[in-house]
Chains A and B, each alone.
Chain A
């Protein structure tokens, strides 16, 4: 089970209202390489993992991704705060306004809704950990492209934090992969 803590993992702030950036940033909320995909991918892959190390690392990184999802939501919330329908339309968010007003929704940067096809669970621990490591690299790259799209130092600060988390997670999944391969080779499972 999970217990909610009434605080963010990181003190996320933005320098100004910026609907253009909100439209791009939302991809880390509901896009293919976003935090929702990450959390659901890892927490769902736990059940077919053979070792305690992999069960633990998927649980703990999956849980941290939920905290990152909340950080992204907070950034989008702050970037879009008090925006009028006219401003939303000018930023290319007229369609979003028609469907959701100022509410958040799980979409990518071009408005495509989140889909389970973004994630996989193969049941093979080596294959699944490779997907997880690739997911961390894709999320890292996405944060870099997002940093390139803004000059707001407050926003860049939080995006940099999230970007470095992807690198740390890659390292941990890599270590878990080493241990799983060692375990499988010792049991002669090929």
Chain B
């Protein structure tokens, strides 16, 4: 995996992790509007980065493949094969 792709993947991992952290916090604090806004902003940036990733490197979820030129869902590397 090329350095650029790896860096973008790590950025996506960091943003998605942040979204999960707000997700769990909000489950027990559903009335915290500030945390909710931070969740919304995190997910917005995450979606943008995922869009760039899938356009350049391939699908992250199977439905992304509908915007790919061919069935490249099966292409390697699979997650456990990536060297970070």
- Per-position 1/0 for A40-78, Cβ under 8 A of B: 000000000000010011001100100000100110011
A4 B30 Cβ-Cβ under 8 A: no
User: How many angstroms between the C-alpha atoms of A12 and B27 in the bound complex?
Assistant: 27
Q: Which of B12, B13, B30, B79 contacts A74 (CB 8 A)?
A: B79
A-B pairs, top 3 by smallest CB distance, nearest first, are A175-B28, A11-B84, A74-B80
Q: In chain B between 21 and 79, which residues have their CB closer than 8 angstroms to a CB of chain A? A: 21, 23-25, 27-30, 59-63, 73, 78-79
Instruction: Assess whether A5 is interfacial by the CB under 8 Å rule.
Output: yes
Closest to B64 in A: A6
Q: Indicate if the CB atoms of A11 and B13 lie closer than 8 Å.
A: yes
Tell me the smallest distance from the CB of B19 to a CB of chain A, in Å.
Answer: 11
A74 to B9, CA, bound (A): 17
Tally of chain B residues near chain A (CB < 8 A): 27
CA A59 to CA B78, docked complex, whole Å: 25
Q: Which A residues form the contact surface with B (CB < 8 A)?
A: 3-13, 53, 56-57, 60-61, 64, 70, 73-74, 77-78, 168-169, 172, 175-176, 179
Complex Cα gap A90–B9 (Å): 37
Contact of A61 among B12, B13, B24 (CB under 8 A): B24
A60 to B61, CA, bound (A): 18
What is the bound-complex CA distance between A82 and B71, given in angstroms? 30
Report B-chain residues with C-beta under 8 Å of the C-beta of A56.
27
Is B79 a contact of A60 with CB atoms below 8 Å? Answer: no
Please tell me if the beta carbons of B28 and A10 are within 8 angstroms of each other in the complex.
Answer: no
Distance between Cα atoms of A178 and B48 in the complex (Å): 37
Contact partner of A4 (CB less than 8 A), chosen from B12, B21, B25, B62, is B62
Contacts of B17 in A (CB 8 A): 9-10
B63: A residues at CB distance < 8 A: 3
Could you pull out 8 A-B pairs where Cβ atoms are within 8 angstroms? A3-B61, A7-B13, A7-B79, A60-B23, A74-B80, A168-B21, A172-B27, A175-B28
